[in-house]
Structure 1
Amino acid sequence: MSYQLMKKVRSEATQQKALSLSLERQQEKINEVRGLLGSLTEEMPSFLSDATIRRFLRARNWSMEQATKGLKETVKWRREYRPDAISWEDLAEMENEARRTHVADYLDKNGRSVLVVNLPMQSKVSVKEQIKHLVYLLEYFATNSADEQDDYVVWLTDFRGWSISSTPLSTTRETMHIIQNYYPGVIAVAIPFDPPRVFESFWKIAKNFVQPNMKEKVKFVYANKPESLKIIADIFDLDTLESSFGGRSTSTIFDINKYTERMRRADKMRGASKYTNGK
């Protein structure tokens, strides 16, 4: 048996073991990790909830050592970056940026939230501001999911018209670092829709930043390949999905006013204030 095949078999066995853990055993592991975190649970009680600890454990195949390490690193990052304090009002050029990257007003067939990214639209803000917007949305997802739900976001990206200047490798590296290390277990599926041929060479390099469990979640879809469009049909109700992604919805109007109110309501629920974030 080859080394790669052995790794795959061992990985699948580990994942199956994780899935078979009883709720009682899961709670025992959560409690043990909480003990290993010590006073950090008092510093960030809202963040270090059972749901968050469970999410990190699941993403690390129920390894208490790896989950604890990841949580400690995330606490350090949150202490410095203050993602919980970012509000809608903190974000720049939002009428354009929200059209480019936003939470869809529909769910997939499994009730999961959908993050839509329209790469053909030119961003009007710096990479730093784009990352802040991404973190804001990841906080939104993390605080608006059911406690027991894992892998609850479908990441749908329109790659038509993409060029290497659209997404520098450094930005891709930072994006994947944040998603995989500080928000593990949030993304269920990542769908690059209709990437051009030139993206293939970019992906060969970019996938080095992507962890194995995340690579398995990446599903390429091409508008001219009916067999790949089946991925879209399996995940989405085509009557609600935009026609630009292979759906049947004819609605093309993005109501920035309604979206703004939606985000402000979410900010209020999680306690984010425009006066508390100085970044």
Structure 2
Amino acid sequence: MLNIGCHLSTAQGFFAMGQDALKIKANTFQFFTRNPRGSKAKAIDPSDIAALRKLTAEHHFAPLLAHAPYTLNPCSAQEKTREFARLTMADDLVRMEYLPGSMYNFHPGSHTGQGVDVGIAQIIALLNEILQKEQQTTVLLETMAGKGSEVGGKFTELRQIIDGVELQDKMGVCLDTCHVNDAGYDIVHDLDGVLEEFDQVIGLERLRAIHINDSMNPLGSHKDRHQKIGEGQIGLEAMTRIINHPRLRQLPFYLETPNDLPGYAQEIALLRSKYIE
């Protein structure tokens, strides 16, 4: 079975997100832990979480994926910005324990002129402070497009971060198809080669989730502009190969395309029609 979902709004609550997922024939979903452009998080409603957990168990959902807000920058040159990221992510991981077995994805950040090695060291320091042995959430580093001073546009940078983390069993990677295309990894013409490089550098056992997005921009553009499935530079044929690849097909896929709920339903139906059972 193709495990696929999309990004849903937490505005209506967790159980409502689960219901929305079922409406569009999804069997997982992604959500922001809090306002993606701010810092406030809604109070946890245990009954709402319990209803969602019952629903996801009954319908055999794949793991849910939480996304940290875009405002976080764990490797900013500004100490107060790094501290904001640390406090927010630590709080998010506490809240994620209400959904045991889920995943928490974040953008490694931008080193803002300090240099990539300094940025990586700051990300490692943050992770070593917030990760806990008893946590049930896997924290995912997202592959990035490499725009500006972004960290994570190269597989080697993600490996450096993982190597520095003490609790490495709590760490994984989320591969974003738009981002890796824009970073220069040719998943259209050489998917096997890209996955082999990922395996050699990071290890495919670390790959836990895929953001499946088309890209508005060509290979190596370093732009990060998502497009609807089949309407961008990656294209439907390549997307079909990705979801059916023997090294990827059992992973959960999460859509982050510029869409509304009916649009996501259409994309999910399209990709399911291309999946070989």
User: What is the TM-score of this pair, normalised by structure 1?
Assistant: 0.35
Q: Give 1 or 2: higher strand fraction.
A: 2
Q: Which of structures 1 and 2 has the bigger CA Rg?
A: 1
Q: Normalized against structure 2, the TM-score is what?
A: 0.35
More helix by percentage: 1
